[in-house]
Structure 1
Amino acid sequence: MKRLVVAAGGGGDVIAATMLRTALFGPAAPALVLTYAWERLTVDPLPGPRGRSDFTGLVTPLPGLALVTGRTAPIPPAGSSLPGLARDLGAPLGLLDPYEGAAGLARTLTAAAAYCGAARIDVVDVGGDIVAAGDEPTLRSPLGDALVLAACARTGLPTDVHVAGPGLDREVPEAELFARLPPPAFTLTAHAVAPVRTVFDWHPSEASAMLAAAARGVRGLCGIRDVPEPLRLDARSAGVHRLTLSQALARNPLARLLADSRTLAEAELASVEVCGFSEIARERVRAAAPAETAPEDAEFPVPSGGGPADVVARHARWQAVLGSQGITLVTRRRLTEGLALDRAADLLLRARLGTDPAQNASPLWRVPARAAPRG
């Protein structure tokens, strides 16, 4: 028998799901993790999620269930981190294809349960948007999580919903979020991080990186990309809150509305009705935006062809500004995109930081406190 674990939001949630699987069942326990191929545009330039038809090399052990392995590849121009994650995590990943709505996802979950011999489902969400009401002004990506809840309800299988790292996705205001969650069931520790440590060398996930750092005892004020206010890592940041499926559904009106959805287009319209927006439509706008107006614009860009000394000097200036703002930690994505590092500059800078215990807070980087430079 294998455990059946569902990473509800796509992106880096599969990393968090692997950490949670380790904490719940042990690193040697067989498990299948299912996830969306739905990632930021820097990974996949096409808006929206990728489905089965967007990949070559999928393995189909049962009708309705497709597995991503290290030999799977997205069909260009699509991109996906899932084959790399399957290689690094040492196990295939089940693909959640939302193009047939909650009905199609339920068929996938039912097939996965049969394949695993699993009698129940464990759903994992990093941050807490799986309990979003839909009217939060900071809400950005509710659809994937809501579809998973609706699909789980259709299967009839007992389901637990685990919210790990409450608030780390900055989608539901903290006061509202904790009011919707029961007390933490347990806290992740460094033991759960061990199986995923190498993934952060290349994967851009920020929420899962902060969760892993918090589980390792890292504390401080963390600067992340595309969010104006830094996020404080504290003792609550490694907490895991467990809800029943009925509790999660009661808190998520979009999931309830998606119960009978049979296409992604239907689900997108439901999102507009409940939340006032479609995240897929937003991605279409971002994907079509000229490069100079893209949200990935660098704070301290390194000029093309700049040598090692230039990279180091610009990094020092950037750190000084961050330090003067009280920021003590940054994510790898904030570092690479904030300085517009190419691969060579990224490797050079991370090699220097990685040997400095004052700055290495793996998988985050520390920012020494200092005054901002003048002029």
Structure 2
Amino acid sequence: MTRLIVAAGGGGDAVAAAMLDAALYGDQDRALILTYAWDRLLVDPVPGPRGADNFTGLEQITPAVQAVPASARPIAPAGSTLPRLAAELPHTFALIDPHHGAEGITRQLEELVRHLSPTSIDLLDVGGDILARGDEPTLKSPLADALTLAACCQVNAPVRLLVAGPGLDGELPVDDLRPLFGALVHTFTPQDVERISQVLEWHPSEATGMLAATARGVRGICEVRDAGLAIPLTDEGPTVHEADLDQALSRNQLARATMATTGLGEAERHSREICGHSEIDYERTKAARLGRPTPTRLDPGAVLAQVAEFEAEAQSRGATHTTFRHITEALNLDGTQREELRQLLLSNRPEQYAAPLWRVAAGA
């Protein structure tokens, strides 16, 4: 009895997939989660997703699919959260390799279907940008979701499309998503979050962090990303809805355009043409601007003063919460300093921790 979950955008979608699998099936045999190694620049200084040749210690499942065990390691300078996820969660994490385009991902899925004969296949997206058309001005990272959607629509097996945490990725307004939803599949609870609580302490995903926080009852406005995007934390936050896979494909211009792609560069060109940008281009530009960080110890007094100033400004904008990732970027710190910053804040102001978010407004 094996279930297969495809984490549509990688990163936090894989964590959400593990939480949903445990919530729905308890301690039964855990699902295999097929996911990208695409952790963005806070973890991985190399732009774009990692492929199998960026790791050592992978384990072959099928000719085109390899698992990422706890003992696997990304090859420097690349970074990845997947080995640590494999160490801390009971699921098997297998690597989506998009470097052969949607055709390559389709081949991976077909091999897994033949090898596992899964009892169910779910395509899970946190936030809902997989339902985008492609021309929305708020759409920032459509490529990964489009490729997995294109691949899942070409597999000769039933696939259920699920959206968790509507709007929490900041890509599409919840009002635009709501008419596209079918059945309510699950509403996450604090007990569900406890199953992955240790991962939330270190994993940088903002959307899945907010998903977990709303499941724990946190409400307000959360600032995220380097630009300080404001995300409402509402009662819809912890919900998981089914959406129609064929309807998603008919809406998603980029997914349709990439269905026959055989390389990541080819898929990127479609993204530039349809969406006006490629998120990997954005990462390339940002990586060139930031350069290679030289790890340094934080000055606690100076950092706490900067945080206090940041909090005052965030409150003036109406924010009640933020992520440690956003604070790190707002203070112009690099990704290697995120955990040190987090520990500094927790040791000095533990009452402001709204796990896994940081409360910036009194009484929020």
228-237 vs 47-56, which deviates more?
A: 228-237
What corresponds to 2:345 in structure 1?
A: 349
The structural deviation recorded for 1:315 is 3.1
The structural deviation recorded for 1:23 is 2.5
What corresponds to 1:244 in structure 2?
A: 244
What corresponds to 1:332 in structure 2?
A: 324
**Paired-residue identity, %:** 47
The structural deviation recorded for 1:282 is 2.4
What corresponds to 1:373 in structure 2?
A: none
1:75–1:25: structure 2 CA closer, same or farther, 3 Å change rule?
A: same
The structural deviation recorded for 1:226 is 2.3
User: Which residues in structure 2 correspond to 1:12-91 (within 5 Å)?
Assistant: 12-91=12-91
What corresponds to 1:256 in structure 2?
A: 256
What corresponds to 1:277 in structure 2?
A: 277
The structural deviation recorded for 1:172 is 1.7
2-side partners of 1:346 and 1:215: how far apart? 22
What corresponds to 1:318 in structure 2?
A: 310
Q: Which runs of 5+ in 2 are unaligned?
A: none
2-side partners of 1:366 and 1:209: how far apart? 13
Q: Deviations over 1:167-223 (max 9, x none)?
A: 111112333232333364432212221221111222111000000111111111112
The structural deviation recorded for 1:105 is 0.7
Structure 1 residue runs of 4 or more that deviate by more than 6 Å after TM superposition: none
1:260–1:314: structure 2 CA closer, same or farther, 3 Å change rule?
A: closer
The structural deviation recorded for 1:83 is 0.8
1:62–1:304: structure 2 CA closer, same or farther, 3 Å change rule?
A: closer
Q: Which runs of 5+ in 1 are unaligned?
A: 297-302, 371-375
1-side partners of 2:298 and 2:168: how far apart? 35
2-side partners of 1:321 and 1:30: how far apart? 44
CA contact (8 A) 1:45 1:78 kept: yes
2-side partners of 1:24 and 1:305: how far apart? 42
1:59–1:313: structure 2 CA closer, same or farther, 3 Å change rule?
A: same
- 1:41 aligned counterpart, secondary structure: helix
One-letter identity of the residue aligned with 2:345 = L
Q: Deviations over 1:65-112 (max 9, x none)?
A: 100011111111111111111112133311000111111111211222
One-letter identity of the residue aligned with 2:187 = T
1-side partners of 2:66 and 2:223: how far apart? 37
Q: How many residues align?
A: 357
Taking only aligned residues, the RMSD between alpha carbons, in angstroms, comes to 2.3
Q: Deviations over 1:11-45 (max 9, x none)?
A: 21111111221232224342111100112112111
One-letter identity of the residue aligned with 1:148 = T
Q: Deviations over 1:230-289 (max 9, x none)?
A: 211010111212023212212212212222222212212222232222222222222222
CA contact (8 A) 1:320 1:369 kept: no
The structural deviation recorded for 1:61 is 2.6
CA contact (8 A) 2:31 2:92 kept: no
* TM-score, scaled to structure 2: 0.90
327-336 vs 135-144, which deviates more?
A: 327-336
* TM-score, scaled to structure 1: 0.88
CA contact (8 A) 2:221 2:233 kept: yes
2-side partners of 1:27 and 1:206: how far apart? 27
User: Which residues in structure 2 correspond to 1:108-119 (within 5 Å)?
Assistant: 108-119=108-119
